[in-house]
Each structure stands twice: as C-alpha cells, then as structure tokens.
Amino acid sequence: MFLGIIKMVIVPLGLGILLKLKFRYKLQPFAEVFPAFSVTFIVFICSLVAALNKDYIAQMSLSILLIVLSLNIAGYISGYGIAKLFKLNIKRCKTLSVEIGMQNAGLGTVLALKYFSRQVAVPAALFVITSVLTSALLARYWRNSSTD
C-alpha cells in the first residue's frame, strides 16, 4: 500500500511540480482548468463506486450519511478554528477550512478499491461526493457574503 501511495501521489505530484517549474509560463493558460479537471475526475471515480454499489448503498442506513456529513462539517469548523487560533487572515481561514473539510477521501476511495473491495470504498466515495457539494455551497456562501 505504501508503494501504491508513492506511485499514485508522490510521483505525480513530483512530476507536476517539476513541469510547473520548467514550463510555468506555457502552462499558465491551463492553470484554471486543472482544478476543475481534478475534481471532475475524482467525482467520476466516486460516482462509479456509488453506481457499482447501488444495492449496497440502498441497504445502508441514514446514519452513514449523517456520519459522513458530520465529519465533513467538523472538518470545515476545525480548519477555520485552527486558522483563527493562529491568527491567519480571513482568506487563509476559509482556505484551511475547505482544505480540511474536504480532506483526501478521493485517495481513500482509490486505495480502498485497489487494496480492499468496492464496498469498502463506499464511505470514502460518499464522503467525496458530500465534500464536493458542501464545499461548493460554502464557497458560494462566502463569495456572496461580505466577510472578506
């Protein structure tokens, strides 16, 4: 699993950093597209997991969804609170809030699929889908509020 994480995270991240350093100006026009592509790809993987497990998900109780949502919201609150504790400016508080609220369930989903089973990947996949939706709502709320 450790080697899998290195192959799936460290190597692509390292290559991405090197490419960005070497081709910074050539890649600049695409900089706004990459995050959307990344989120789309992760949501696609998690949607696939959900589709493969639709019968299993139908049997799950509402408590799983409430746990996933609670973890997500606790991450947002913790991230914002920790940033405030360290006296970061409001933009950094919001950034840390979303970063911790979303965590890295996409990686968890992929690792669960690779090393365990598609049913084991369901909670992580549900967390990703929940995180993407709630972070979009939170970002929209903050964009429309005057707390900047």
Domain layout of the chain by residue ranges: 1-31, 33-144
**Residue 141 tokens, joined:** 């709320």
Estimate to the nearest angstrom the gap between the alpha carbon of 38 and the chain centroid. 10
**Residue 71 tokens, joined:** 């973890």
The answer, yes or no, to whether residue 147 has pLDDT greater than 60, is: no
Instruction: Determine the average pLDDT of the residues in 61-90.
Output: 91
Contacts of 108 (CB under 8 A, 6+ apart): 121, 124, 127
Give the residue, 62 or 89, on which the prediction is more confident: 89
Q: Would the pTM count as exceeding 0.75?
A: no
**Residue 92 tokens, joined:** 């950094």
Question: What's the pLDDT at 93?
Answer: 93
* Pure H helices in 6-148: 11-22, 24-27, 33-52, 54-59, 62-85, 90-102, 105-115, 122-144
Report the percent of the chain where pLDDT is more than 70: 98
Instruction: Determine the average pLDDT of the residues in 112-117.
Output: 87
Query: Cα–Cα distance between 98 and 80 in angstroms, integer?
Result: 8
